[in-house]
């Protein structure tokens, strides 16, 4: 889904998304909102998991898949948030 376009600078949309997630996550760590972890790893996991879940949900009218997408988003949110 995010690999079918290449920008003039050679970047893929997925790369740009992960860079934005990295910035967002790093800012959240500095503000104490997110748990401290490897920024690049967390960005890659968040992007990959959410993209995969979205693709599964969009390819089917299956309600359970749509619910699984919501559940996955909740898991990722809880993994990021500091307690």
Mean pLDDT of 63-74: 75
Whole-model pTM above 0.85?
A: no
Asked if 49 contacts 72 with a C-beta cutoff of 8 angstroms, the reply is yes
Over the range 16-35, which residues count as b (16 or more CB within 10 Å of their CB) and which as e?
Answer: ebbeebbebbeebbeeeebe
pLDDT digits (tens, 9 = 90+) for 10-34: 877 777 777 888 888 888 889 888 8
């Amino acid at each position: 889904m995010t690999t079918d376009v290449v920008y003039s600078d050679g970047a893929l949309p997925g790369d740009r998304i992960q860079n934005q997630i990295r910035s967002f996550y790093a800012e959240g760590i500095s503000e104490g909102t997110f748990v401290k972890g490897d920024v690049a790893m967390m960005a890659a996991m968040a992007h990959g998991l959410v993209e995969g879940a979205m693709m599964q949900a969009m390819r089917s009218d299956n309600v359970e898949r749509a619910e699984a997408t919501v559940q996955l988003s909740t898991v990722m949110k809880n993994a990021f948030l500091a307690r």
